[in-house]
Chain A
């Protein structure tokens, strides 16, 4: 019986992602077994998201530009951050529920399973419902694409922008969810930074004071989600006079945030104290 249960080392490398896929598939299957309620939720989420951008578009019926940016340019910013947070939220949105997992003892159960904890937490109750948001943000971004004067290097930066913004939000979700290892009911706190960050980045940073722009570059680096790469895509020089090389630093910022998040996550897991019963 022992032979069947030990894992060969070679098979372990593909383990986490494959495990994620397996588990997510089962949740999707369960979700689709109630097609009517699934359809309603998806349509509902699309409607809510559509209204979200409609608000900004309506604003432009009375103004021509916001912080020096036109509607299509803002749509590019909006789409980039929306797709980023949408992908991150779809793939790992459950990490917000870590506090609930701690309180209910679910985390104990997960810790006794041979799959990395983060993979289990993120795939728990995987749902396609969140695809509504990605779709909406994707449509807005597609509509904005003609505003860019495309060159091969801009295509590259655009692709890296989408990947980095997903990774950045991934890192932020994990990082702020980790707070719940210390105080297990701080999920609102996490939301303030992730969703709050998303809202801030829907606007050009020029509408905010310079201090905030600095803070969003070096403290909570969400300016790298869309702002800096979009400046490059739009061929603009930095309105705050910050160095131009920042426009290529999104992948670096994303890597730093993800690394920090994984480190804090490990620390949180090691100091996890479970519950008394």
Chain B
């Protein structure tokens, strides 16, 4: 998701200025996505250029300018909401690349690498569990649901480490030609 639709979604409720958009966006995500105010202004300018938002009232200084959703912006938002996420799976972790390389390097310590990674995932599971508990305690059920998703993803990563640990590794099957 790009910031674009986040901004459109927040403006759906009421007109906001840049700082309010930033604060609400970060609040909604419970600190799991930091944006700087510059990104917000750039996004708002592009959205205005594309006719998806428009300024409300007279153009004040940048920080005070209110924006609202245009009818086109509303349509774009609805379309985006109705669309399932598709496209390639995003894998952001170094471990995927480390594994590929380690299977090619003769003394790449694959078992050790898997064991250390597994332990890191266990610690992350514990951290996520505590984050989920905290979110529930604070009445942030929305955030707790997000954390739950992360827990399940990390559990899958852990299972993958377990599967790999039970395999024999040689250099077979690593041909790139």
B is bound to A: no
